[in-house]
Amino acid sequence: MRELLPDRRGDVVAKPSINGAQRAVVALERTSTVHLVAAELRKAILTGALPVGGPIGEVEIAAQLGVSRGPLREAAQRLVQEGLLVSYPGRGMRVRRIGPDEVADLYEARLALEGHAARRLAQQPDRVQTAELEAALARLAAVSEGDDAVPIGDADIAFHRELVRLVGSAHLSDRIDTLLAETRIATLSMSDGFQVRRSVSPTYRELIDAIGEGDGEGAADALSRQFEDAVARLTGKDDSAETVESDFDEKPVFPRIDAPPA
């Protein structure tokens, strides 16, 4: 699911050489397969198709994907490193669950990163960058008129990713992808199901305006208040906001992966 995390596709496979490079081709093909499997697992987790706390059925998933259990396990281990899966020695892997006790710390990390991004953008306000944020906010407002929580949650995540992307740092973008994925899991872990706020918080508008005016501290403050509200909602301390809910009761179905080209 590219909106949440990069799927890391597009490996270049080396051509055989007279020095026995065919072995390298096989290795790269396997690596590409692992990337594709990881992308499908990641998508299933972050869309709720694989429920939080649920096991990873290796045999069934491998059969659906059309791969052996080896690449599947390698892909799953990558998701363990990303914090999406948890490995239990001798008992397999399960989708990570992020409980209310972890939410405040998660948003603290996001505030440190996104607050920095907002301050950097405010140092030299740029009309093009502001327009990108305006477009992201417009998309969030548009989908918030609907009754499906998933596109609303996706648009919210896209806005915050865009905020960090505009700084131009690949490292910061990688970090926010991980934190946003954890945010999605935290939302999926709610006891009442996947819920998002229906109305768009005025702090989004305040954030963009502050960046355009060169007020980095004002932008960071808008983020801080936005995150405080989110933490209160996700931890059950504030249920005053109207929400939209989505249930994920269907069994996940994985598409068959074609073998990477040689």
Closest CA to 8 of 70, 59, 74: 74
Q: Is 13 a residue whose pLDDT tops 70?
A: no
Interior/surface letters 205-221, b for 16+ CB within 10 angstroms, e for the rest: ebbbebbbeebbebbbb
| Cβ atoms 94, 54 nearer than 8 A | yes
How do the residues of the chain divide into helix, strand and coil, expressed in percent and rounded to 5? Answer: 60, 5, 35
Question: Which H/E stretch holds residue 116?
Answer: helix 100-123
Q: Is 78 a residue whose pLDDT tops 50?
A: yes
23: tokens are 């072995």
Q: What is the mean pLDDT of residues 89-94?
A: 89
Q: Is 249 a residue whose pLDDT tops 90?
A: no
In order, the DSSP letters of 85-113 are: EEEETTTEEEE----HHHHHHHHHHHHHH
Lowest-pLDDT choice from 25-34, 188-197, 198-207: 25-34
Closest CA to 252 of 40, 88, 91: 40
Cα–Cα distance measured from residue 48 to residue 146, given in angstroms and rounded to the nearest whole number: 19
Global pTM value: 0.81
Confidence class of residue 16 from pLDDT cuts 50, 70 and 90?
very low
Closest CA to 216 of 163, 158, 157, 178: 163
Interior/surface letters 172-184, b for 16+ CB within 10 angstroms, e for the rest: bbebbbbbbbbbb
Sequence-separated (6 or more) residues with CB below 8 Å from residue 199: 144, 241, 242
Lowest-pLDDT choice from 42-56, 76-90, 96-110, 239-253: 239-253
For residue 252, the model assigns a pLDDT of 79
User: Looking at per-residue confidence, does 86 or 241 come out higher?
Assistant: 86
| Cβ atoms 34, 74 nearer than 8 A | yes
Cα–Cα distance measured from residue 25 to residue 19, given in angstroms and rounded to the nearest whole number: 12
